[in-house]
């Protein structure tokens, strides 16, 4: 068994200057594809489950699938993370199921739609962190609301997120507020708002600094060099995947995601966790479409899912290599939750010393 906490993994990533993709999982095929890629390049893994994934597969299935994957690949440290926890109940039920990390997304209220006040976010995140750390579990918070700087819209595409039009103040994390938030809540990692959004339709053109605000990453990194930042909505929506999806009957209007080179720049400035779901969906869906188109007589699900897994695995492997994750699994010895809890208690993990640097 090699289950690892987010905090230990991201501390290692910071020490050695790499980033870790966090891939969403909902089923066995996705998990196996990610693990195969990780094993091939010796990469530690973050797999994350949304509330939707937990409802789809069921907690018992998800938790046992991850345990099985760990048994199959004992040399690969695996962090099991709750993606976008909307309240304390979601976070703590994940902990009960063996998740070693939770995201308390207090940027929105518990309905996962209404933008929350700073005070609400601070209070709910602090409550989660206090208890999670007693159990050794890591916590990711979020400050600022995910959404497009082009349209001011949130992330309604996936059926969650706000449908309100947001101001740039809401859509961009304030670096000074980030310092105060991290100090008060003691989160292990902070998701920031910088113009990225979930789903395939992030940008209507190749993003520049106007619509993908990398300067926010740099400003926060200057103030809190030890902070692990998280980029959500970080699928690159590669042109070749769009093309393949459309070639076999898909209907995806031209769109742009987050270029890999921007993520690599972010990693130099403290981005340690990079959330990717859409690219994984697209890689699999394009192959399922291809088989359905090329072999209309096929009805064995494995004939659709095996090429889909191979395409996802190739994508994951590329990201492990591009983010520098490859080669690091065997350099990490996972600490138990009890050992992590003792570290939090002794104060050796908190607080992060902020640097008061003017930007
Ligand atoms: O948070 C966004 C991820 O892409 C998960 O999406 O809620 O449809 O599982 P989901
Ligand atoms: P994408 O939709 O860009 O893959 O983002 C996924 C994500 O942020 C999950 O939390
Ligand atoms: Zn997200």
pLDDT one-digit tens code per residue, 304-359: 999 999 999 999 999 999 999 999 999 999 999 999 999 999 988 865 543 333 32
The helix/strand/coil state of 211 is coil
H-run or E-run covering 183: helix 175-185
pLDDT digits (tens, 9 = 90+) for 43-60: 999 999 999 999 999 999
Rounded-to-integer distance, Cα 91 and Cα 84, Å: 9
For a ligand 2 pocket test, name from 23, 101, 232 the mutation site with the most ligand atoms within 8 angstroms of its C-beta: 232
Mutate to test the pocket of ligand 1, among 102, 145, 158, 230 (most ligand atoms within 8 A of CB): 158
> 325, 322, 231: which is closest to 18 by C-alpha?
325
What percent of the chain has pLDDT above 70? 95
How far is ligand 2, taken at its centre, from the CA of residue 191, in Å?
Answer: 12
Residue 162 has pLDDT above 90, yes or no: no
pLDDT at 155 over 70: no
- Predicted model pTM: 0.96
- Tell me the average pLDDT across 16-41: 98
pLDDT of residue 357: 33
| pLDDT, mean of residues 192-217 | 97
Tell me, rounded to whole angstroms, the distance of Cα 151 from its chain centroid: 23
Q: Are 334 and 4 a contacting pair, CB within 8 Å?
A: yes
Q: Which helix (H) or strand (E) holds 143?
A: strand 138-143
Q: Whose CA is nearest to atom 7 of ligand 1?
A: 52
What is the rounded average pLDDT of the residues 196-216?
Answer: 97
In angstroms, what is the span from residue 44 Cα to ligand 2's centroid? 19
Cβ burial of 159 (10 Å; 0-12, 13-18, 19+) is exposed
CB of 158 sitting under 6 A from ligand 1: yes
* Cα–Cα distance for residue pair 81/140, rounded to 1 Å: 9
Residues contacting ligand 2 via CB (< 6 Å) = 24, 83-84, 198-199, 232-235, 275-279
Nearest ligand to the C-alpha of residue 275? 2
1 C-alpha to center of ligand 2: Å?
Answer: 27
pLDDT of residue 164: 83
**What angle, 0 to 180 degrees and rounded to 10, lies between the N-to-C axes of helices 260-268 and 301-322?**
40
Ligand 1: distance of its center to the CA of 50 in Å?
6
Catalytic residue among 42, 59, 83, 174: 83
Q: Whose CA is nearest to atom 5 of ligand 1?
A: 50
Residue 348 pLDDT = 85
Q: How far apart are the first and last CA of the chain?
A: 44
Atom of ligand 1 nearest to the CA of 158: 8
* pLDDT score recorded for residue 295: 98
Give tens-digit pLDDT for 235-276: 999 999 999 999 999 999 999 999 999 999 999 999 999 999
Residues with Cβ within 8 Å of residue 181, at least 6 apart in sequence? 118, 121, 122, 125, 141, 143, 187, 190
What value, to the nearest 5°, has the Cα angle with vertex 228 and ends 91 and 148? 80
pLDDT digits (tens, 9 = 90+) for 270-302: 999 999 999 999 999 999 999 999 999 999 999
C-beta separation of 266 from 231 below 8 A: yes
Greatest pairwise CA separation for the chain in angstroms: 65
Nearest ligand to residue 160 Cα? 1
> Is 277 marked active-site?
no
Q: How high is the pLDDT of residue 301? A: 98
**Residue 353 confidence (pLDDT):** 43
Please list, residue by residue across 311-330, b when 16 or more beta carbons sit within 10 angstroms of its beta carbon and e when fewer do: bbbebbbbbbebbbbbebbe
Closest CA to 38 of 268, 275, 323: 323
What pLDDT score does 153 carry? 83
Q: What is the pLDDT of residue 359?
A: 28
Beta bridge partners of 275: 22
Ligand 2, residues 103, 262, 278: which to mutate, most atoms within 8 A of Cβ?
278
The closest residue, in CA terms, to atom 3 on ligand 1 is: 277
Total Cβ atoms within 10 A of residue 169:
9
Beta bridge partners of 102: 82, 139
Other beta carbons less than 10 A from residue 150's beta carbon: 15
- Give me ligand 1 centre to Cα 52, in Å: 7
Give the number of whichever ligand sits closest to the CA of residue 51. 1
Domain boundaries, the chain: 6-346
Would you say domain 6-346 falls under CATH 3.20.20.70?
A: yes
């Amino acid at each position: 068994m090699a289950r690892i906490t987010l905090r230990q993994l991201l501390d290692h990533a910071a020490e050695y200057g790499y980033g870790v993709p966090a891939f969403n999982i909902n089923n066995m095929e996705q998990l196996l594809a990610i693990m195969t890629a990780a094993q091939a390049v010796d990469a530690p893994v973050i797999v994350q489950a949304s509330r939707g994934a937990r409802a789809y597969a069921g907690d018992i299935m998800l938790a046992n699938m991850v345990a099985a994957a760990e048994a199959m690949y004992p040399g690969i440290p695996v962090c099991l993370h709750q993606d976008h926890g909307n309240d304390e109940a979601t976070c703590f039920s994940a902990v009960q199921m063996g998740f070693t990390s939770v995201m308390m997304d207090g940027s929105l209220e518990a309905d996962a739609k209404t933008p929350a006040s700073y005070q609400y976010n601070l209070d709910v995140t602090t409550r989660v962190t206090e208890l999670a750390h007693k159990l050794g579990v890591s916590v990711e918070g979020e400050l600022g609301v995910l959404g497009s700087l082009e349209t001011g819209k949130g992330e309604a595409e996936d059926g969650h997120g706000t449908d309100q039009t947001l101001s740039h103040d809401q859509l961009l994390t304030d670096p000074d507020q980030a310092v105060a938030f991290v100090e008060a809540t003691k989160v292990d990692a902070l998701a920031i708002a910088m113009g990225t959004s979930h789903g395939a339709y992030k940008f209507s053109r190749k993003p520049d600094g106007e619509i993908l605000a990398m300067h926010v990453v740099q400003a926060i990194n200057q103030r809190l060099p030890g902070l692990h930042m998280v980029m959500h909505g970080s699928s690159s929506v590669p042109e070749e995947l769009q093309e393949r999806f459309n070639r076999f009957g898909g209907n995806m209007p031209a769109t742009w995601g987050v270029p890999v080179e921007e993520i690599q720049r972010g990693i130099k400035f403290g981005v340690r966790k990079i959330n990717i779901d859409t690219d994984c969906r697209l890689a699999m869906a394009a192959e399922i479409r291809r088989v359905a188109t090329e072999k209309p007589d096929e009805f064995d699900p494995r004939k659709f899912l095996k090429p889909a897994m191979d395409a996802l695995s190739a994508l994951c492997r590329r990201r492990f290599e591009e983010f520098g994750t490859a080669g690091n699994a065997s350099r990490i010895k996972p600490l138990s939750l009890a050992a992590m809890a003792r570290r939090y208690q002794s104060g050796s993990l908190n607080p992060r010393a902020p640097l008061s640097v003017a930007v």
